[in-house]
Amino acid sequence: MTSAEPRRRPVRPASMATALLVASGCAGGMGEVRDPFSRAGSGAEESVRVEVQNLNFNDATIFAMRSGQQVRLGRVTGKSDQTFTISWNFALPISFRVDIVGGQSCRTPSIGVDPGSLVWVQVPSDAGLSNCRSGRR
């Protein structure tokens, strides 16, 4: 060993364990991003029930819309009713897009939702000519 080379110190097991504990403690919270405006620390999203009444003969695919995002609820067979439950941030209004098999589609206006409210969507028999409707109960 020459005098210009620095001396290496042996790594002690106690200092290595401390470094690992600190690193794992810091990394543990990095995946979670908490919303400061969330309800009671449980997250801002809670569930909302959506009842869909399809008056059209064709099947319809229903999407919930919020702030440029869309969430697919599912498909409702023609001339039938179906209920969906989705997670929703009640600070945001909800609207719906309905795609009818065969090319027609329609959108509902935005409505506010509250915890525990039931939202309904009605798909008209002549979607594309008539507007889809929605509301709260």
Render pLDDT for 27-85 as a digit per residue (tens, 0 to 9): 444 444 444 334 444 445 789 999 999 999 999 999 999 988 999 999 999 999 999 99
What is the CB neighbour count within 10 angstroms for residue 23? 10
Specify the pLDDT at position 32. 47
Determine the straight-line distance between the first and last CA of the chain, rounded to whole angstroms. Answer: 83
pLDDT digits (tens, 9 = 90+) for 89-137: 989 999 999 999 988 999 999 999 988 789 999 999 998 788 999 999 8
Degrees to nearest 5, angle at CA 132 with 107 and 123: 120
Specify the pLDDT at position 3. 57
Specify the pLDDT at position 122. 97
Specify the pLDDT at position 10. 59
> 110: helix, coil or strand?
coil
Residue ranges of the domains in the chain?
A: 57-127
Question: Of 1-10, 13-22, 60-69, where does mean pLDDT reach its minimum?
Answer: 13-22
pTM (2 decimals)?
0.67
What is the CB neighbour count within 10 angstroms for residue 36? 4
Q: Is the Cβ–Cβ distance between 102 and 58 less than 8 Å?
A: yes
Q: Is the pLDDT of residue 1 over 60?
A: no
The residue behind tokens 């620390």 is 41
